[in-house]
Chain A
């Protein structure tokens, strides 16, 4: 494993009874990567995130992060190792203000950093500025719209100072203009803050436009991996999304 690899997932599997939700998946995330994870509904995308973060226990395989074997870690230890995540269905800290939510991220998260309440407030201010939540800092979570809740999750996970950020459909349910804002935000986090990002997304336009590489899952198996151009032409991927007939016709047309 090269020094350039941040996350090394090997033969990862989880079985729920007879169902192989994730089946022998191997992939690497390099430092600085902006890696898209796509696949039809039920392909096992969120399950992979849950396996990496320790929310679900794996059946087999290893997850090595920063040279550290984190398979079997509990979610809080994974976070301390430097992996932050957002949730598909947002999980804001209800009863706390927007600022306090982000401060909670800044106070914990990656281990071994000075975490005083004062420093956390300053850190939260930076993350809220980045995500455009500064004007809403004093609002209660219950007053936020869905796009704002997604931004809050992003700000809170950024505040944990992660090396790797796992995003689970941060653009679902957003309007096209909001998707564009979200895209440029993710790009900025990746480029300016030097955070490696692995993101699940259904909005295909979004995945294709910002990913450096894309990983495709279907029925728990990895079926393709490569640059957006390669993926968009891969017959297996087209088949998974659009059906066998379409894939055949398309190959025939091109041939």
Chain B
């Protein structure tokens, strides 16, 4: 009964936040609209990483490779006269291809090999992008054709695209968790040997999950490139993007629906505030805060908060009786 009321309250709260986010672009300045757009983008990347990290237990450290692949494929095609959507779709195809070719052999291995190997994959593909100058422009990067819109409308366009992508990532997550597929990957995270003994083809499910994660990341990369209208290899293949997204997952709570999103909001907004106050050592402060959260709320803020609320309501019940 109590949980039903709590559920209702949660839905109401989420609805209100969404409504607020929809109205935001007309309330705040362009700078903040762009900042929120980047928060949405990081939320998407964090959700994509959490599908692997929180549900199968494998951390895709170099997941940013799909961000780069999406951005670069779309950029190469759009600068040659393609439209955005077809460019994005080809980006997805290439990401899925890389995922299968690389994932099937590497995801047979248990443990941390996968995490390390994905960093290597990102490095290799970045090097290819950097050196095939004729195709990618090499170190010069790629310029996307400019959109003929006024800056305010442009800000709002990408704000809503990224927000839509974030909501889509959440919906995908919810569908997966409730399905047979979700049971498979949660079993893999819990105990891979037991999962196999139940008839779960673990390599197949891990690779499939990574493909979903890669597709989401690739689309985010495509949109990012179009939004920035200029990309370079050091920019979109930057491992730090992935590491930041992993920090967000840890901050909010791995393996939860809203954790990575809450993590992205808190991390980015905190980073903004600290940056504006302490220009020179804001990264240090951010690091200390992240460490404190991981130390004292190891399962993330969302899980920590729900646990705290639950114990408080239990106590309240006891005292009431």
A complexed with B: yes
Over the window 205-232 of chain A, the binary record of Cβ atoms lying under 8 Å from chain B Cβ atoms (1 yes, 0 no) is: 0000000000000000000000000000
If A95-B186, A96-B186, A103-B183 touch, whether A109 touches B193 (CB-CB below 8 Å) is no
Per a CB cutoff under 8 Å, which of B178, B180, B190, B198 touches A79? B198
Q: Within 8 Å CB of A160, what residues of B?
A: 198-199
A and B contact pairs by CB, cutoff 8 A, 30 listed: A75-B193, A76-B199, A76-B201, A77-B199, A77-B201, A79-B198, A79-B199, A80-B199, A87-B197, A91-B194, A92-B190, A93-B187, A93-B191, A93-B194, A95-B189, A96-B186, A96-B187, A96-B190, A104-B183, A105-B198, A107-B184, A108-B184, A109-B198, A115-B180, A116-B180, A117-B178, A120-B183, A157-B198, A160-B198, A160-B199
- Shortest distance from the beta carbon of B225 to any chain A beta carbon, whole Å: 38
Interface residue count on the B side (C-beta < 8 Å): 20
For chain A, residues 180 to 208, give those with C-beta under 8 angstroms from any C-beta of chain B.
none
Quick check: B191 and A79 within 8 Å, CB to CB? no
Over the window 169-187 of chain B, the binary record of Cβ atoms lying under 8 Å from chain A Cβ atoms (1 yes, 0 no) is: 0000000001110011011
Quick check: A104 and B196 within 8 Å, CB to CB? no
- Shortest distance from the beta carbon of B74 to any chain A beta carbon, whole Å: 37
**Is B143 interfacial (CB-CB < 8 Å)?**
no
- Bound: A100/B196 CA distance, A: 16
Quick check: A117 and B196 within 8 Å, CB to CB? no
Quick check: A92 and B198 within 8 Å, CB to CB? no
If A100-B183, A107-B180, A108-B184 touch, whether A75 touches B196 (CB-CB below 8 Å) is yes
**Is B76 interfacial (CB-CB < 8 Å)?**
no
- Shortest distance from the beta carbon of B52 to any chain A beta carbon, whole Å: 16
Where the two chains meet, the residues of B that have a C-beta atom closer than 8 Å to any C-beta of A are: 178-180, 183-184, 186-187, 189-191, 193-202
Chain B CB count within 10 A is highest, among A93, A117, A157, for A93
If A93-B190, A94-B191 touch, whether A76 touches B180 (CB-CB below 8 Å) is no
Quick check: A92 and B183 within 8 Å, CB to CB? no
Where the two chains meet, the residues of A that have a C-beta atom closer than 8 Å to any C-beta of B are: 53, 55, 74-77, 79-80, 84-85, 87, 91-96, 100, 103-105, 107-111, 115-117, 120, 156-157, 160
If A93-B190, A95-B189, A96-B186 touch, whether A108 touches B179 (CB-CB below 8 Å) is no
- Bound: A100/B202 CA distance, A: 18
Q: Within 8 Å CB of A85, what residues of B?
A: 197
- Shortest distance from the beta carbon of B311 to any chain A beta carbon, whole Å: 15
Per a CB cutoff under 8 Å, which of B178, B179, B194, B196 touches A92? B194
Q: Within 8 Å CB of A109, what residues of B?
A: 198-199
Quick check: A91 and B193 within 8 Å, CB to CB? yes
Quick check: A117 and B198 within 8 Å, CB to CB? no
Apart from A79-B198, A107-B183, A108-B198, list 20 A-B contacts with CB within 8 A: A74-B196, A75-B196, A76-B199, A76-B201, A84-B197, A84-B198, A85-B197, A91-B197, A92-B191, A93-B190, A94-B191, A96-B190, A104-B187, A107-B180, A108-B183, A108-B184, A108-B199, A109-B198, A117-B179, A117-B180
Quick check: A156 and B198 within 8 Å, CB to CB? yes
Q: Within 8 Å CB of B193, what residues of A?
A: 55, 75, 87, 91
Residue of A at shortest CB range from B191? Answer: A91
Which 5 residue pairs are nearest across A and B when measured between Cβ atoms?
A: A79-B199, A93-B190, A91-B194, A108-B199, A75-B196
- Bound: A2/B180 CA distance, A: 37
Residue of A at shortest CB range from B57? Answer: A95
Quick check: A94 and B190 within 8 Å, CB to CB? yes
Q: Within 8 Å CB of B187, what residues of A?
A: 93, 96, 104
Chain A CB count within 10 A is highest, among B178, B193, B194, B202, for B194
- Bound: A96/B195 CA distance, A: 13
- Bound: A108/B200 CA distance, A: 6
- Shortest distance from the beta carbon of B76 to any chain A beta carbon, whole Å: 40
Chain A CB count within 10 A is highest, among B178, B189, B200, for B200
- Bound: A55/B197 CA distance, A: 9
Q: Within 8 Å CB of A87, what residues of B?
A: 193-194, 197
If A95-B189, A117-B180 touch, whether A111 touches B199 (CB-CB below 8 Å) is yes
Residue of A at shortest CB range from B201? Answer: A76
- Bound: A115/B181 CA distance, A: 11
Residue of A at shortest CB range from B184? Answer: A108
- Bound: A94/B212 CA distance, A: 24
- Shortest distance from the beta carbon of A79 to any chain B beta carbon, whole Å: 3
Per a CB cutoff under 8 Å, which of A79, A94, A103 touches B197? A79
- Shortest distance from the beta carbon of B163 to any chain A beta carbon, whole Å: 30
